[in-house]
Chains A and B, each alone.
Chain A
Amino acid sequence: MTTLKLDQVSKIFPSTARGGGLTPALRKVSFELKPGEVISLIGESGSGKTTIGRILLRLTKPTSGTVTFDGKDITSYSTRGLREYYRNVQAVFQDPYSSYNPIYRADRIYDLVRSSYFPRVSDKEWSAKVEGAIDAVALNPGDVLGKYPHQLSGGQQQRLLIARALLLDVKVLVADEIISMLDASTRVDVLNLLVKLKRQGMAVLFITHDLSLGNYVSDRTIILRHGAIVEMGATEKIFGNPQHEYTRMLLTAVPELHKKWQHAPLAPVGAAAVTGAGAGVISQSGQATALARASLLDEITHAEQVVKRDLRAMFGGGRAVASGKSQVAVALEPPALHEFEPDHLVAEPE
């Protein structure tokens, strides 16, 4: 059993905004990814979903908490151990155009895999392996091999990157927004490919902000907000019976073909509201409109500012926080999760 497990993982970034300070990107996130399982990690910009992916790939170090693969802490790997880890855990990212070097042919990504992992495999055997992998992602090797990235469509590029992971026979695939840049007509092909790989035993962490895509592919769903898990469990339970207010709000915002949004016209704006400055990011002036409320993104930036201010007040600036990990753990306490039903955890309102 190859299980990837996060235990109380937190990450604090120094903020880049004016005024500095700290941004807690993850707050004590714990979950397990088992073989043959697809987990959707759903959240808006700034919810920490990409940070989780980066931590799993060892591109970012967690501030506290541990990530274990087969029971071994991934930060403890030696150079050789790390190579072995990357044989098992690979990623595909959102923008296929920037995953390739435009001056080389696209299939160079396979040559690089060969030189670092399979130097002793013969040419013939290797090309059979490459063609097999390309075939598995429903592409015709003759159509794509030897082409430059600009000669391939986004969907083809994305599938070639998945084929690269197949060459390594990975156990875990971190798929970070791999669908969002593709056309509707090719999206589904990539999704169905993930389903096929899962049936063959691969574990997939499907990071997305699109709830309908997440629902389509995944067995389990994790909803993130401000770096903490607000709801987690079997996908059909989360979508069928969402308990957290935030999850419900996200679901009502999803555009559906056969159901219209309830559009409430906005109240007229009086002169007082126009001149009343300094009301924070969200209008608090009584005209707190449907539009303003729906714009959660702004609310998140606002919430981050509040947390940062609290952190600064508690520890007096960045250095103190960085040196006192145990103190940070207190400040980052996420809302407690309780079991609503088997395999369905819900966080307390924040």
Chain B
Amino acid sequence: MSVRIENLSVAYRTARGDVTAVDGISFQIADGEIMGLAGESGSGKSTLGNSLVYLDPRMKTTGGKVTVDGKDLPIADNNAMRRRRMTDVSLVPQYAMSALTPTRKIGKIINDLLKSHKIQNRQEVTAELHRRLALIGLNEDVLSKYSFELSGGMRQRVTIIMSSLLNPSLLVADEVTSALDVSTQRAVGEMLLEFRDRGYIKSAIAITHDLSILAQISDSIAIMYAGRLAERAPTSVIVDNPLHPYTQALLNSLPEVGVRHDQVTLTGIPGRPPSLVNPPAGCRFRERCPFAFEKCTQTPPFEEIRPGHLVACWKVSQEQTAVTAGAGQEQA
């Protein structure tokens, strides 16, 4: 297991007290795995991704443990993290467009980065940088340009190259395809796959609200709702056989190519996610869930229903118990 996260909680300090945006989340990512992390705005998916790389002063961890390649990742300790960034964990930020300073040329920005990480073999790394630029079809003269001279897709690809230059074990890619056109989206998505296949990044978390992109690039998908994980399974299982009512509703609200309003009327999910300032007890999707019943006032465990398929839902675990009990009787 290259990345292991146990019971991680992250809170924002606010005037009205702590707001727990990530609430006791556990999961693992294998070597070579791209995990998709999806959810609505405010579900805590970006907070989770960011906290693994940089805990900004508004955030604090309230518990949990993260290990990368068997070594502890001290996410609460900014100074210790400084040595781990870029090599162990790295982030492609959500607003990659604005992550590049407009006052320095791209090549200079990358040089600064290598200097501040005290990279010894800088020439070797620079040669590798040129090789990777050529690989994805970017001319090396982008290095002598300012960020505003590049198109959105080029900027996005440059930031991914920068973030993965030192071959991190875990790359957190936060909404890297969201502001792009379909064809550029595809180019950026395939670039992530290519970098994984070539071992430039050992594993990745791709954060997005767009499930159809994740269906293309990720090996497994985790669905997040109001600070907790609702479901986690291999991509094909989430897409074809989702169990959590929230995952099902999310998939039902996606129009596919070829579907028109006069043939199928899609439905959204009524209501809004609960406020995290004072979240309700029990299952947090309860208010919007068409299947909610009494037991949902207790918090459902995030348990493994089938190998590799974890769900936090009372209805699913009850049905599962019924099925296994039924099978047991038949055998008896």
Bound form: Cα–Cα A269–B255 in Å = 39
Contact B183 A294 (CB under 8 A): yes
A-B contacts, 15 of them at CB < 8 A, read A153-B272, A183-B40, A185-B40, A187-B253, A188-B266, A215-B255, A235-B260, A239-B257, A253-B183, A257-B211, A274-B130, A285-B134, A289-B136, A295-B137, A297-B154
Q: Report A-chain residues with C-beta under 8 Å of the C-beta of B149.
A: 17-18
Contact B182 A261 (CB under 8 A): no
- Chain A window 271-303, contacts with chain B (Cβ cutoff 8 Å), 1 for yes, 0 for no: 001100111111101011111111111100100
Q: Report A-chain residues with C-beta under 8 Å of the C-beta of B180.
A: 297
A123 at the binding interface (Cβ < 8 Å): no
Bound form: Cα–Cα A281–B183 in Å = 16
Q: Which of A187, A209, A255 contacts B216 (CB 8 A)?
A: A255
Q: Report B-chain residues with C-beta under 8 Å of the C-beta of A189.
A: 268
Give how many B residues have a beta carbon under 8 Å from the other chain's beta carbons: 59
Chain A residue with Cβ nearest B177: A255
Known A-B contacts A18-B149, A257-B239, A301-B151; the reply to A279 vs B139 at CB < 8 A is: yes
Classify the secondary structure of B's interface with A: helix
Within A145-199, the residues touching B (CB, 8 Å) are 153-154, 183-189, 191-192, 195
Q: Which of A187, A266, A274, A289 contacts B140 (CB 8 A)?
A: A274
Known A-B contacts A185-B268, A215-B255, A257-B239; the reply to A277 vs B182 at CB < 8 A is: no
Contact B253 A260 (CB under 8 A): no
Bound form: Cα–Cα A215–B194 in Å = 31
Contact A212 B255 (CB under 8 A): yes
Chain B residue with Cβ nearest A154: B41
Q: Which of A17, A235, A255, A292 contacts B213 (CB 8 A)?
A: A255
Q: Report B's interface with A, CB cutoff 8 A.
A: 40-41, 127, 130-131, 134-141, 149, 151-154, 180-187, 189-191, 193-194, 197, 209-213, 215-216, 239-240, 249-251, 253-261, 265-269, 272
Bound form: Cα–Cα A188–B250 in Å = 11
Contact A255 B185 (CB under 8 A): yes
Which of A213, A215, A288, A294 is most buried by chain B, counting CB atoms within 10 A of its CB? A294
Q: Report B-chain residues with C-beta under 8 Å of the C-beta of A290.
A: 190
Q: Report B-chain residues with C-beta under 8 Å of the C-beta of A263.
A: 190, 193-194
Q: Report B-chain residues with C-beta under 8 Å of the C-beta of A282.
A: 137
Bound form: Cα–Cα A282–B137 in Å = 6
Q: Report B-chain residues with C-beta under 8 Å of the C-beta of A44.
A: 181-184
Contact A294 B255 (CB under 8 A): no
